[in-house]
Amino acid sequence: MTRITLTNDFLRAEIFALGAELVRLQDATGADWLHDGDPSWWSGRAPLLFPMVGRAKGDHIRVDGRLFPLPQHGFARRATFAVVEAGPDRVVLRLSASGETLVSYPFAFRLDVAYALAGATLNVAAMVANEDDKPMPFSLGFHPAFRWPLPGGKGAHEVRFERPEPAPIRRLTDGLLDPQEFANPAASGLLALEPGLFEAGALIFDSLQSRRVAFGPPGGPEVAVSFPGLPHFGLWTKPGAPFLCLEPWQGFAAPLDFDGEFCERPGVVTLAPGESRRFVMDIAIKF
């Protein structure tokens, strides 16, 4: 399996060509900040979600009246990307449409994912291009899982949102977005973490105000995720698991009662032929 290593004076990052997935993030002391992928909890580390975030009803999307099988979070995380550029602190990987992807997603696309180190920050940029002759709907998300507790982090951890988050949160039923709304435990912008929060699964922020979210103990080490162009967000772990996922998204799981065209699904965006769109996530480490 192709593994690319990026280094600078502050960070060391490892990326697999499979899924263009970040699989390790270490600080200058060698401490690991990313979940190790222990399958007894969850085998992921930071999968890329494309061309869909979450699930579709019956695990199929509808395009021009036809049903196409598309698994939860799409196929990019299971696909092998080509390395198109590589250096000591930057790499660009590419996935293009193929006979295999057309079975699930009937569009000609190009997905470029770039990782670059800048000081104690890892920049991740995903660029989606429509290479088809018709409009192309899609959604895209990042899914990094950070260690809980963080390296050197003692005591209770919390999630700090950039702004207050008064809008209700949503939950999933059978992997689909439940219409019921729930009081937002981060209404003040501060969320005290405890495993019971996740007994009902992920917390979904589909009316998010913040574009930066930080995680860590008060006054201790911190990981901050910034995502200026992504309007949705998820927090997820399994009760008792040693990780927390901070997930910026464009799009989210289909509503329970949604059975329409993929392009009409809430959160999905559409590119015109020849158009492209770039999504950025910065992961900043504070030791």
Could you read off the pLDDT of 185-237 as tens digits, one per residue? Answer: 999 999 999 878 999 999 999 999 999 999 999 999 999 999 999 999 999 99
Average pLDDT, the chain: 97
Question: Average pLDDT for residues 14-34, to the nearest whole number?
Answer: 98
Question: What pLDDT, on the 0 to 100 scale, is given for residue 233?
Answer: 98
Question: What pLDDT, on the 0 to 100 scale, is given for residue 195?
Answer: 75
Question: What pLDDT, on the 0 to 100 scale, is given for residue 194?
Answer: 86
Percent of the chain with pLDDT over 90: 98
Q: Does residue 59 have a pLDDT over 80?
A: yes
Question: Average pLDDT for residues 44-67, to the nearest whole number?
Answer: 98
> Residue 41 — very low, low, confident or very high, per pLDDT cuts 50/70/90?
very high
Residue 102: other Cβ atoms inside 10 A: 13
Question: What pLDDT, on the 0 to 100 scale, is given for residue 254?
Answer: 98
Domain boundaries defined on the chain: 3-286
Question: Average pLDDT for residues 120-136, to the nearest whole number?
Answer: 98
Question: What pLDDT, on the 0 to 100 scale, is given for residue 134?
Answer: 98
Question: Average pLDDT for residues 59-75, to the nearest whole number?
Answer: 98
Question: What pLDDT, on the 0 to 100 scale, is given for residue 210?
Answer: 98
The predicted-structure confidence for 227-268, as pLDDT tens digits, reads as follows 999 999 999 999 999 999 999 999 999 999 999 999 999 999
Structure tokens at 41: 């909890």
> What is the pTM for the complete model shown?
0.97
Q: Does residue 1 have a pLDDT over 80?
A: no
Question: What pLDDT, on the 0 to 100 scale, is given for residue 121?
Answer: 98
The predicted-structure confidence for 82-111, as pLDDT tens digits, reads as follows 999 999 999 999 999 999 999 999 999 999
Three-class secondary structure assignment of the chain: CCEEEEECCCEEEEEECECCEEEEEEECCCCECECCCCCCCCCCCCCEEECCCCCCHHHEEEECCEEEECCCCECHHHCECEEEEECCCEEEEEEECCHHHHHHCCCCEEEEEEEEEECCEEEEEEEEEECCCCCEEECEEECCEEECCCCCCCCCCEEEECCCCCCCEECEECCEECCCCECCCCCCCEEECCHHHHCCCCEEECCCCCCEEEEECCCCCEEEEECCCCCEEEEECCCCCCEEEEEEEECCCCECCCCCCHHHCCCCEEECCCCEEEEEEEEEEEC
CA–CA distance from 117 to each of 9, 13, 22, 218, 274 (Å)? 10, 8, 13, 26, 30
CATH topology of domain 3-286: Beta-galactosidase; Chain A, domain 5 (2.70.98)
Q: Tokens 């911190």 — which residue?
A: 222
